[in-house]
Amino acid sequence: MLHCPYCGSVVKEEEQFCVSCGEELPEDINERYTNKKHYKKLWVMPFITLVMVLLAVSLYQGYLQKQTSQAKQNYELGEKSLAEEDYDAAKDYFTKALDEKSNFKQGKTALEFVKNALAIKDSIVESTKELEENNFQSALTLLNDAEASLKNYNGAATTNLVDDIVLQRSTVKLEQLKALLEENPSIDELKVLLWEADAIKSDEAVQITESIRNQIIDFSYTKASEQLSMKQFSDAQLIVEDGLKYAPNSEKLLSLKTTIEKEKVSFEVTQQERIQQALDTAEEEREMNENDAVELISVDIENDEQGNLVVKGEVKSVATIPINSVLVEYSLLTNENEFLSNTVYVYPDTLYPNETGKFEFTHYDIKENVKEMDINVKKITWYTNY
Q: Is 92 exposed, middle or buried (0-12, 13-18, 19+ CB in 10 A)?
A: middle
Kindly report, residue by residue over 126-159, the tens digit of the pLDDT: 999 999 999 999 999 999 999 999 888 888 888 8
Tell me, letter by letter, the H, E, C secondary structure of 228-247: HHCCCHHHHHHHHHHHHHHC
Q: How many CB atoms lie within 10 A of CB 274?
A: 11
**Cα separation, 300 vs 143, whole angstroms:** 107
Enumerate the domain spans of the chain: 104-181, 188-265, 292-384
pLDDT at residue 25, as a whole number: 57
| Percent of all residues in the chain with a pLDDT value above 70, rounded to a whole number | 82
Question: Is the pTM for the entire model greater than 0.75?
Answer: no
Handedness of CA 236, 240, 242, 243 (dihedral sign): positive
**Cα separation, 69 vs 123, whole angstroms:** 35
pLDDT at residue 7, as a whole number: 66
**Cα separation, 96 vs 71, whole angstroms:** 7
Q: How many CB atoms lie within 10 A of CB 82?
A: 23
| CATH T-level fold of 292-384 | Immunoglobulin-like (2.60.40)
Alpha-carbon dihedral 217, 223, 224, 227, rounded to 10 degrees: 180
**Cα separation, 234 vs 252, whole angstroms:** 18
pLDDT at residue 79, as a whole number: 82
pLDDT at residue 34, as a whole number: 55
Among 324, 366, 365, CA closest to 347: 324
Residues lower than pLDDT 70 in the chain: 1-48, 50-51, 53-68, 71, 386
**Cα separation, 339 vs 342, whole angstroms:** 10
Q: Is 341 exposed, middle or buried (0-12, 13-18, 19+ CB in 10 A)?
A: exposed
Handedness of CA 345, 348, 351, 356 (dihedral sign): negative
Amino acid, single-letter form, for residue 382: W
Q: How many CB atoms lie within 10 A of CB 29?
A: 18
* Cβ neighbours for 361, distance < 8 A, ≥ 6 positions apart: 310, 311, 342, 344
